[in-house]
Amino acid sequence: MNLSVVILAAGQGTRMKSSLPKVLHGVCGRPMVQYAVDTARALSGQPPTLVVGHGAEAVQAALGDQCRYVVQWPQLGTGHAVLQAAPALSGQAGLTLVWYADMPLLTAESLQRIVDRQRENSGPITMLTVVADDPRGFGRVQRDSSGAVTAIIEEAQATAAQKAIRELNVGAYCFDSAFLWAELPRLPVSPKGEYYLTDLIGVAVSRGRRVEAVALDDAAEAIGINTRVHLAEVEAVMRQRINRRWMESGVTLIDPATTLIEPEVMLEPDTVIWPNTQLVGRTRIGGNCLIGPNCLIRDTAIGARCEVVASVLEGATVEEDVSIGPFAHLRQGAHLASGVHVGNFGEVKESYLGPGVKMGHFSYIGDAHIGAGSNIGAGTVTCNFDGQKKSVTTVGSEVFIGSDTMLVAPVTLGDRSRTGAGSVVTKNVPADSLAIGIPARIRKKSDG
Ligand code: UD1
Ligand code: CA
C-alpha cells in the first residue's frame, strides 16, 4: 500500500527566541529536521513532503533534494500546514503519515507501529500517544468509558479536569489518505484562529468512525523541542543513545556523560574514550586507541593503536601507532604516517610527516613534507608565509633539525642533513651536510 509522508516544519518556533528557524537548531551536530527526514526515508520508498514556511529558504538549502517542499504562508496551524500538501498528494490512495519536525527522538520503529495498526483496521486514523507525568503543554487524549479515543484537547482549550489527563498526543498520525484529504478542508477554526490537525480526531468520531491509538514504550521519544531547555534535553537523550550503541559494539567510554559522539562518527572495538572528549563530523577511529581526556576531533581519520591526549584534530589523517599531545593541534591536511609522535604545543597544517617522525615540543609545520625518521627539534618553525604567498618546505628522511630552527620556505633539506640550534635556513641544505647560523651557512659534511 502506498505510504506518503508529510513532515511539518513551517512554524517560527517563537519560544526558541532565535533568528534561526527552529528546525535548523542542531541536535548532536545536525539540524533537528534531518532526523525526521532520515526516519521518513527509512519508512517510505518516496521522498517525504516537508511543509516549510519560516526560514523556508534556509531549510531547503540545508536539506536540498532529500525532500519535496510545499510552502505554508501564513502559518495558520498544523491542520492548515498539512492542507498545503493536498495539491501534491491528494491524488494518491493509501496511507499518509504525518508528524512534526521538532521531535528528533521519535524512532522509525514507533512510527512503523502506527502504520501497521492503520493498515490492519478500517478506521481513518491511528495516532501515537504517550503516558507521562509532566504534560509539557501537549494535547490531552480524551477517551470515553469504553476506552475509545474521542478527541484531542489542546491545553489552551482544556478544562481543569481535562488538563489532569496524563495520556498525551505525541503528534504523529497515520491517516487513511481518502479521509484526510476529504476532511482537512472542512476543519473548524479554533478559538485562536488556527486550524488544528488534532481536531480531525473529533471529526472522525463525530462521523461514527473509530480512532486507534498506540502508546509509546519509551516516553523520551515524545520529547518535542519548543524551547532551548527542550533542545538540551533532546541533545542529552540523543547522546545517550549514540553512546550506548558504541559501548554495545565494544568501545569503552570512561564517562559517557561528558563524551559527545556525533551520529556519523565510526569507531572500532577496544578503543577507550576518556572524559570530556568530542568526536564530531565524519571522524573515524580504529581499534585499540586511547582517546582523551579533553579532545576535540573533527572530520579526522585515525588508525589503530593511536594515543591522543588533550588535543584538537581537524580534517587530519593519522595512521597507526601514532601518539599525539598533550596540547597538539592538527589542522586541515595534516597527515601523520605510522609511528609519528607529536608532543605538546605542536601544530601541523597541510603537511605530511613520514613514518617515525618525532616532533616533541612546540613546533609549527605548515605546507611541508617531512621524510621518514626525521627529528624536528623543539621550537622548529616552517616560515611558510611571506605576507603574500605560501611556500613549501621539503625535508628528506633521517634529517635532524636542531632546536629553534627557522625553515624559511621555499626550502629543501636533503636526506640525513642537520641544522644547528637557532639556525635560520634560507637556502637549500644538501644531503649529508650541516647548516648553522643566521642566515645558515653550510659548514661541513655531517658526521652522519
Ligand atoms: C502540537 C499538537 C499537540 C501535541 C504537540 C506534541 C496541534 C494543534 N497540537 O502542539 O497536540 O501534543 O504538538 O509535540 O497540532 N507547524 C507548521 N505550521 C503551522 C503550525 C505548526 O508547520 O502553522 C509545525 C511546526 O513547525 C512544528 C509542528 O508543526 O514542527 C508542531 O507545531 P508546534 O507549534 O510546535 O505545536 P505544539 O504546540 O507543540
Ligand atoms: Ca512542538
The ligand placed nearest to the CA atom of residue 82 is 1
Cβ contacts of 297 within 8 Å, gap of 6 or more:
277, 278, 279, 280, 283, 285, 291, 308, 312, 313, 314
CA distance 234 to 266: 22
- CATH number (domain holding residue 31): 3.90.550.10
CA distance 415 to 421: 18
Measured by CA distance, the residue closest to atom 3 of ligand 1 is 139
Together in a domain, 298 and 197: no
Is the pLDDT reported for residue 444 higher than 90? Answer: no
Distance 216 CA to ligand 2 centre (A): 17
Is the pLDDT reported for residue 118 higher than 90? Answer: yes
Ligand 1 pocket member 78 (CB < 6 A): yes
Together in a domain, 30 and 172: yes
- Spell out the SS3 assignment of the chain: CCEEEEEEECCCCHHHCCCCCHHHCEECCEEHHHHHHHHHHHHCCCCCEEEEECEHHHHHHHHHHHCEEEECCCCCCHHHHHHCCHHHHCCCCCEEEEEECCCCCCCHHHHHHHHHHHHCCCCCEEEEEEECCCCCCCCEEEECCCCCEEEEECHHHCCHHHHCCCEEEEEEEEEEHHHHHHHHHHCCCCCCCCCCCCHHHHHHHHCCCCEEEEECCCHHHHCCCCCHHHHHHHHHHHHHHHHHHHHHCCCEECCHHHEEECCCCEECCCCEECCCEEEECCCEECCCCEECCCCEEECCEECCCCEECCCEEECCEECCCCEECCCCEECCCEEECCCCEEEECCEEECEEECCCCEEEECCEEECEEECCCCEECCCCEEECECCCCECCEEECCCCEECCCCEEECCEEECCCCEECCCCEECCCECCCEEEECCCCEEEEECCC
Mean pLDDT on 246-274: 98
Is the pLDDT reported for residue 443 higher than 60? Answer: yes
Measured by CA distance, the residue closest to atom 11 of ligand 1 is 139
Ligand 1 pocket member 138 (CB < 6 A): yes
Ligand 1 pocket member 356 (CB < 6 A): no
Of 222, 241, 262, which residue is a domain's last? 222
Q: Indicate whether 286 belongs to any domain.
A: yes
- pTM here is 0.92
Of 22, 49, 78, 134, the one to substitute when testing ligand 1's pocket (max ligand atoms within 8 A of C-beta) is: 78
Q: Indicate whether 362 belongs to any domain.
A: yes
Is the pLDDT reported for residue 145 higher than 90? Answer: yes
Together in a domain, 214 and 289: no
- Using a pLDDT cut of 70, give the percent of the chain over it: 99
Ligand 1 pocket member 81 (CB < 6 A): yes
Distance 173 CA to ligand 1 centre (A): 13
Ligand 1 pocket member 221 (CB < 6 A): no
Give 384's pLDDT tier (boundaries 50, 70, 90): very high
CA distance 35 to 231: 14
Find residue 7's DSSP bridge partners.
50, 99
Together in a domain, 132 and 77: yes
- Using a pLDDT cut of 90, give the percent of the chain over it: 97
CA distance 318 to 341: 11
Of 100, 149, 154, 234, the one to substitute when testing ligand 1's pocket (max ligand atoms within 8 A of C-beta) is: 100
Ligand 1 pocket member 77 (CB < 6 A): yes
Together in a domain, 68 and 156: yes
Measured by CA distance, the residue closest to atom 36 of ligand 1 is 78
Q: Indicate whether 104 belongs to any domain.
A: yes
Is the pLDDT reported for residue 340 higher than 80? Answer: yes
At 255, the amino acid letter reads: D
Pick the atom of ligand 1 nearest to 103's CA: 14
Ligand 1 pocket member 366 (CB < 6 A): no
CA distance 393 to 415: 13
pLDDT at position 446: 58
Of 204, 222, 240, which residue is a domain's last? 222
Give 328's pLDDT tier (boundaries 50, 70, 90): very high
Report residue 74 as a C-alpha cell: 501564513
Contact 180, 119 (CB under 8 A): no
pLDDT at position 12: 87
Give 445's pLDDT tier (boundaries 50, 70, 90): confident
Pick the atom of ligand 1 nearest to 10's CA: 22
Together in a domain, 86 and 130: yes
Pick the atom of ligand 1 nearest to 226's CA: 35
List pLDDT tens digits, range 404-439: 999 999 999 999 999 999 999 999 999 999 999 999
Q: Regarding predicted confidence, which is higher, 192 or 274?
A: 274
The ligand placed nearest to the CA atom of residue 158 is 1
Is the pLDDT reported for residue 447 higher than 60? Answer: no
Distance 229 CA to ligand 1 centre (A): 17
Together in a domain, 343 and 429: yes
CA distance 54 to 237: 27
Give 448's pLDDT tier (boundaries 50, 70, 90): very low
Q: Indicate whether 242 belongs to any domain.
A: no
Mean pLDDT on 20-35: 97
The ligand placed nearest to the CA atom of residue 154 is 1
CA distance 51 to 11: 9
Distance 261 CA to ligand 2 centre (A): 26
Q: Indicate whether 344 belongs to any domain.
A: yes
**Buried-state track 170-194, b at ≥16 Cβ within 10 A, e below 16:** bbbbbbbbebbbebbeebeebeeeb
Number of domains in the chain: 2
Together in a domain, 206 and 257: no
Which residues are catalytic, by number? 361
Pick the atom of ligand 1 nearest to 136's CA: 12
Ligand 1 pocket member 55 (CB < 6 A): no
Nearest alpha carbon to residue 367 among 389, 344, 341: 389
pLDDT at position 358: 98
- CATH number (domain holding residue 265): 2.160.10.10
Report residue 257 as a C-alpha cell: 556523560
Q: Indicate whether 336 belongs to any domain.
A: yes
Pick the atom of ligand 1 nearest to 194's CA: 23
Contact 32, 55 (CB under 8 A): no
Other Cβ atoms less than 10 A from the Cβ of 416: the count is 20
What is the extent of the structural domain holding 181?
A: 3-222
Of 222, 239, 266, which residue is a domain's last? 222
Ligand 1 pocket member 104 (CB < 6 A): no
Ligand 1 pocket member 169 (CB < 6 A): yes
Is the pLDDT reported for residue 226 higher than 60? Answer: yes
